[in-house]
Copies of this chain bind each other. A is one copy, B any other.
């Protein structure tokens, strides 16, 4: 179960409210790269964990931390919306186009739906989608999903950091960026503890590789019509990254037939000629 402290994990201060930046911050709340996603992802991974239990415990720790990141960003959105209504009205009624220019990037729902507060949506107002919560039941796969979430999340946070010159916002983002650094490292550390890339890859490592169609599991297949070498690289020669094969480059070509389906069932009412 869960508890809270009314204080924030880190301070949130907005020196100069900016509704357009409030809209951009929504990406870090309800976007696919955002904090609701990582929060639910880590918690669902923990709740579905079937051992070793230490990973469940660890996921609970960090999943719980992420709730507080949503909280920080939601607070930041609300603070950035101070004064937005007046400017919005100027924009809508056409009284002040210069103000309107600045306000042009405001999310209308920040006024219409929330009365100047955050939403569970991304920077375009697209609602958070539960399909983004990845919990596969395979810890290695989940750790990669988590590195992915924290990588795109940290890229996002650095772009938000670039898009503002508000000292308070830059400070808050610098904290969140630091946490993303840790979290990327943290999920990689699990993979190391599980034996590292060579032990865990290919994921899942529990499938017998002799059941794979041999000759295709370490081959880079070209599909360009010239079958040339423009895409040559590390992935086309040398030992594979999982240490279990040798990369080679092979031209793509069809091994299957032209598929022909049986005629339609009468009750499906296809066309008749």
Contacts and interface: CB of A to CB of B under 8 A. Distances in A.
Nearest to A73: B47
Contact of A131 (B112, B126, B226, B240): B126
Interface in A123-150: 123-141, 144-145, 147-148
Interface residues of A, number: 199
Contacts of A181: 202, 209, 212, 217-218, 242, 245
Given A93-B164, A111-B163, A116-B137, A216 B270 contact: no
A1 B265 contact: no
Interface in A153-191: 154-156, 158-165, 171, 174-175, 177-182, 184-186, 188-190
A59 to B, nearest CB: 8
Given A185-B235, A221-B65, A78 B261 contact: yes
Nearest to A203: B151
Contacts of A164: 92-93
A24 B108 contact: yes
B78 A48 contact: yes
Interface in A242-271: 242, 245, 247, 252, 254-271
21 contacts: A2-B4, A4-B225, A5-B226, A31-B109, A47-B117, A48-B115, A48-B116, A58-B233, A60-B224, A61-B220, A112-B160, A138-B268, A138-B271, A182-B221, A186-B235, A188-B201, A189-B247, A192-B234, A192-B241, A199-B273, A225-B225
